[in-house]
Structure 1
């Protein structure tokens, strides 16, 4: 398939969209209350037809708890222009009415500067935030505390949407997201079943459910924004939507994110699934949970 077609990932790098796609696989793990499944997923990101980023995800669900870990870093020409790496971990519980995040951590380096986020969630829906650098050092206003209540981190938010899809809602949902710096809504629209063509870059081809992800900014953005990864000019145009395809990779296995596409200022972005490995484990509490 032509990699320079419309493509994947939003913003100043794929963090939100890539994370969203990577945790989609958790939706299919729910029927295993006592036997944990752990998936190791590898992805490669192409921008304008050139491989620029590798990402690895580890997804675990057991005894009503979930754990999602994502590691990624830019490489090649984009890595020289926009040095970026990130390690993210979300843990929480799965309830009949959705997910309840317990803790989300993210650490990384953007343009040579270390960045960290820790979000701790209370039972009443409030969120305790530790973030470095602080908002005032980035020319941004802190997100008001009342806007962070009952929100999800990006990984947990997408998982909640996918769990709702298991009840017949498809991927039609709006999820309130707070990532420690910004408050925004992720708006998912179900586009139905489509075909993913054969590509030498991917282990998957065939029928998959297409979900379109849009972004609605609410609070916490830079007062004078720098040109983002996805912008073609110097204006403040909206982020292009992200298209995500989800399908089982192994027979009756869980639905996994098999492809993402979006646009960027450097050309089309395509995220390919390059490997998917499953291990069955005796029930255990995901690492990082209290």
Structure 2
């Protein structure tokens, strides 16, 4: 569950795309509330730092609210990469999560050719009803954290339809899936602390590729789910958007991630690597 908190919602945001213009260095420090049917389930923090040559994204989360009575859980996730030829080029991704029932860890190392090394603990158990992940499924992909950064080309305002015009190829170490984004509208959003302004709303469709079990009810439900949305807001001084809000309809209510703090600014001088990023 914690792994989903840290990666699934972030993956709704999209992947980097070509950029034709230079942009300033920028930083985002955000705090989110995770809820289901209006009841708080957890808290998630996100830190993004980006300059003309590289980026770092790191997140942490923990279960809170009524769910703590039946389960405990916390986790971290992080990614780093280069900005090469005007596009995000992921280099590493790490995720660690633990609960009262199990712990897991995933580490990916990536090159322009795809995933060059990976470690998944516990390992995926072979199963005849699971679609195997082929080598080709590990090429041309983004990790879930890099997928939280959306670079919008052109000279017009980044908060636009262009942010939603993409199909995202994501590999999380266990599964390879596509998220198909389409434009819905522009909304005004306001955090309790920080950003207030426009956000572009994208509808999201889930398309599993490999690593999944096609006959599972949950997989079938998500493939048919037409009520998944993400609200993308800008990082100051850049052409980068990140999630301000995300929502997914489930059988027991709306699962939502929403920013309570969304503090963003242009960066001056060198940046420090986050101490708790969980990066390789």
TM-score band by shorter chain is 0.7 to 0.9
CA contact (8 A) 1:135 1:142 kept: no
| Structure with the higher fraction of residues in strand conformation | 2
Cα distance in 2 for residues equivalent to 1:286 and 1:156: 16
The reply on whether 1:78 has 2:67 as its aligned counterpart is: yes
Task: Give the equivalent residue in structure 2 for 1:219.
Answer: 210
Per the alignment, residue 42 of structure 2 pairs with 53
Matched, 1:108 2:97: yes
> Following TM superposition, by how much is the alpha carbon of 1:282 offset from its aligned partner in structure 2, in angstroms?
1.4
Q: 1:167 to 1:119 in 2, by over 3 A?
A: farther
The DSSP-based 3-state class of the residue aligned with 1:77 is helix
Identify unmatched segments of 5+ residues in structure 1. 1-9, 229-234
Counterpart Cα distance in 2 of 1:253 and 1:63: 11
Distance 1:22 1:135, change over 3 A: same
How far apart, CA to CA, are the structure 1 residues paired with 2:87 and 2:144? 14
Gaps of 5+ in 2: 157-161
TM-score of the superposition, structure 1-length normalised?
Answer: 0.75
Preserved CA contact (<8 Å) 1:17 1:242: no
Q: Alpha-carbon deviations, 1:7-54, whole Å to 9, x = none?
A: xxx9983333422367899x999612xxx4322111112211112111
Distance 1:19 1:214, change over 3 A: same
Q: Is it true that 1:31 corresponds to 2:23 in the alignment?
A: yes
**8 Å Cα contact 2:214-2:220 kept in structure 1:** no
- RMSD, matched Cα: 3.9
Which deviates further from its counterpart, 114-123 or 104-113?
Answer: 104-113
User: What is residue 238 of structure 1 aligned with on the other side?
Assistant: 222
CA pair 18-223 structure 1, distance change in 2 beyond 3 A = closer
Q: What count of residue pairs does the alignment treat as equivalent?
A: 266
Against the structure 1 CA distance between its residues 103 and 222, is the aligned structure 2 distance closer, same or farther, given a 3 Å change threshold? same
Of 144, 156, 177 in structure 2, the residue corresponding to residue 154 of structure 1 is 144
Partner of 1:40: 29
Residue correspondence of structure 1 range 62-73 to structure 2 within 5 A: 62-73=51-62
